[in-house]
Structure 1
């Protein structure tokens, strides 16, 4: 995937270097997925970036992603229906791509 406004990405659209991420990059990647970012998205993106900074990995699966969000942000945000509404498809994979993080290891 080549976009002159984006850092280098792999064949699934994940940044090769998470340090190259910026909010502007997130906006472009989200638009490619048909997502217009709002405050709810940014809350999850910031959560993921903090998670990555602390654990040096993306949440490894949707199940652990939902659980981690629930523990950090509460039940209303830490449920799969809410997260699927924000990040359609596979929420952990979609959210990590937008947040500039590596692909979750157990996501299809």
Structure 2
């Protein structure tokens, strides 16, 4: 089912993930976030940018544990704090929702 952003149609799969990684831009991210009931603030953008950088480097989205550990380190938090921080922004699952907003494929292991 396609989404439309600024008069351009972008193809998504049956779960709402972009079919083509190259279609992603910040306007598309905002549209995807709206569909997830996520408001994009500085913290949300931090996570999206982290995920995109991680994907660029490893060609895979990080597991939630990896994401939580990295965000804890980056923000001087304990892992539990980082997990609460992530789930506070992405209540349906930080990997699942944040990867969708970041224009990345659905993470492996996510149902």
Contact 1:90 1:107 in 2 (8 A): no
CA distance in 2, matches of 1:77, 1:22: 31
- Alpha-carbon shift at residue 39 of structure 1 (Å): 0.5
Question: Which residue of 42, 54, 57 maps to 1:54?
Answer: 57
CA distance in 1, matches of 2:39, 2:75: 23
Contact 1:62 1:92 in 2 (8 A): yes
Question: Which residue of 10, 19, 28 maps to 1:25?
Answer: 28
Divergent runs of 4+, >3 A = none
Residue 45 of structure 1 is matched in structure 2 by 48
Residue 4 of structure 2 is matched in structure 1 by 4
- Give me the TM-score of the superposition, normalised by structure 2: 0.85
Equivalent residues, number: 106
Residue 37 of structure 2 is matched in structure 1 by 34
Question: Which residue of 45, 64, 67 maps to 1:65?
Answer: 67
CA distance in 2, matches of 1:4, 1:46: 22
SS of residue matched to 2:100: helix
Contact 2:51 2:61 in 1 (8 A): yes
Structure 2: gaps of 5 or more residues = none
1:74 and 2:75 equivalent? yes
Higher strand share: 2
Cα RMSD over matched residues? Answer: 1.7
Residue 97 of structure 1 is matched in structure 2 by 100
